[in-house]
């Protein structure tokens, strides 16, 4: 494990120093190094990792929706009329040696539950901590979820840090990610998506009452969409709208209002 201490003089300097040191860690290592952060501005690089792929069938009943929670990682959903519903989770955990990485990996499980609205898929991890030189690092795994689901299924996807890609034909979609890009295509019904930092691309939306896209820092691109109401809002980024049919504007936001996260549920 490589460990660096950045001076804690101000938030800005911590941030800049951290970025610089993070680059050094990555460049200075011949192997792939995963960088974790501590609240004091310390950067820790873990050179060892362990990866496991879990794959399970999904049991969908007519009218079921899919709820996905990747915690930290990317989500990819593809609707298919011919393939059987399945989910595949690639989970990578880190440690300062192989044994620790393997132990951390065993703390993560792919969970599939039946809920009232349909099927919920999530990756659940116990707390992962590594101690060295009086520094405790809380680690997050890297997760990638790939799901194949029946056509027309409503989808709700949530991840704290990762890209989300939903490709239909799907039912109504709701996406919430803190730091990641969002790509949604071929939806029959409402689309709501929110990201604090990331670009969004939405195309081929039909028969929606509402399309609502919000990004803190990222561009928005919308094409071939029909909705009674459409709202596209970003603090910093371009908004590109092509071939969109919308009957009326969404109600205006109060001055200075912005939503940091999207509402859950399609």
Partner 1 sequence: MTAKTTSGDVTLEEAAKGAHSLESGYGNITVRKAEGSLRSSTSSGNISIRDFVGKAEATSNYGNVEIVGVLSGAQGRSSSGNVRAVANEGARPTRIGRSTPATEMW
Please pick, from the candidates 168, 237, 262, 266, the single residue that binds partner 1 as defined by CB under 8 A.
237
Q: What one-character DSSP code corresponds to residue 264?
A: S
Question: Given phi > 0 = left and psi -120 to 50 = alpha, else beta, which region is 207?
Answer: left
Q: Establish if 48 lies at the interface with partner 1 (CB under 8 A).
A: no
Cβ neighbours around 163 below 10 Å, total: 20
Which of 35, 239 has the CB closer to partner 1?
Answer: 239
Q: According to CB under 8 A, which one of 90, 159, 246, 266 is a site residue for partner 1? A: 246
Residue 239 within binding range of partner 1, rule CB under 8 A: yes
Out of 11, 12, 27, 252, name the contact with partner 1 by CB under 8 A: 252
Residue from the set 124, 129, 243, 264 that interacts with partner 1 by CB under 8 A: 243
Give the interface segment with partner 1, choosing from 94-102, 107-115, 139-147, 240-248 (CB under 8 A).
240-248
Does 230 contact partner 1 by CB under 8 A? yes
Indicate the DSSP class of residue 98.
H
CA separation for the pair 186, 59 (Å, rounded): 22
Distance CA 200, CA 177 (A): 11
Alpha-carbon span 167 to 183, nearest angstrom? 8
Least distance CB 198 / partner 1 (angstroms): 14
- Determine, following the binding rule CB under 8 A, whether residue 248 of this chain makes contact with partner 1: yes
Q: Does 35 bind partner 1 (CB under 8 A)?
A: no
| 235 near partner 1, rule: CB under 8 A | yes
- Long-range pairs for 189-195: beta carbons < 8 A, 24 or more residues apart: 189/154, 189/266, 190/227, 190/266, 191/225, 191/227, 192/262, 192/263, 192/266, 193/164, 193/262, 194/259, 194/260, 194/261, 194/262
Instruction: Let me know: does 162 contact 181? Beta carbons within 8 Å.
Output: no
**Residues near partner 1 (CB under 8 A), total:** 27
Tell me how far CA of residue 206 lies from CA of 81, 155, 170, 187, in angstroms: 19, 15, 10, 6
Q: Least CB distance from residue 237 to partner 1, whole Å?
A: 5
Residue 260 binds partner 1, judged by CB under 8 A: no
Binding-site member from 242, 259, 260, 265 for partner 1 (CB under 8 A): 242
| Contact flag: residue 209 with partner 1 (CB under 8 A) | no
Whole-number Cα distances in Å, 41 to 4, 94, 131, 246: 9, 19, 15, 47
Considering only residues 97, 124, 129, 238, which one is a binding residue for partner 1 as defined by CB under 8 A? 238
Position 88 contacts partner 1 (CB under 8 A)? no
Cβ-based nearer residue to partner 1, 126 or 243: 243
Report the interface residues with partner 1, using CB under 8 A.
219-220, 227, 229-250, 252-253
């Amino acid at each position: 494990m490589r460990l660096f201490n950045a001076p804690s003089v101000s938030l800005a300097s911590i941030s800049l120093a951290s970025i610089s040191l993070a680059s050094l860690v990555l460049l200075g290592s011949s192997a792939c190094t995963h960088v974790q952060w501590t609240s004091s501005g310390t950067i820790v690089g873990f050179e060892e990792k362990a990866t496991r792929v879990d794959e399970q069938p999904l049991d969908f009943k007519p009218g079921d929706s899919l709820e996905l929670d990747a915690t930290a990682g990317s989500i990819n959903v593809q609707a298919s009329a011919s393939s059987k519903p399945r989910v595949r989770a690639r989970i990578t955990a880190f440690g300062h040696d192989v044994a620790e990485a393997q132990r951390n990996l065993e703390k993560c499980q792919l969970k599939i539950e039946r809920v009232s609205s349909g099927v919920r898929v999530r990756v659940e991890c116990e707390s992962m901590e590594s101690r060295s030189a009086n520094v405790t690092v809380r680690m997050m795994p890297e997760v990638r979820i790939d799901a194949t689901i029946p056509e027309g299924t409503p989808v709700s996807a949530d991840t704290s840090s990762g890209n989300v890609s939903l490709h239909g034909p799907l039912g109504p979609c709701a996406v919430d990610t803190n730091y990641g890009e969002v790509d949604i295509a071929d939806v029959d019904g409402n689309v709501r998506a929110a990201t604090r930092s990331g670009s969004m691309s939405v195309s081929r939306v039909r028969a929606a009452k509402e399309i609502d896209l919000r990004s803190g820092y990222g561009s928005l691109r919308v094409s071939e969409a029909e909705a009674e109401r459409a709202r596209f809002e970003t603090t910093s980024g371009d908004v590109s709208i092509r071939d969109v049919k919308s009957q009326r504007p969404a109600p205006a936001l109060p001055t200075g209002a912005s939503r940091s996260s999207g509402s859950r549920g399609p």
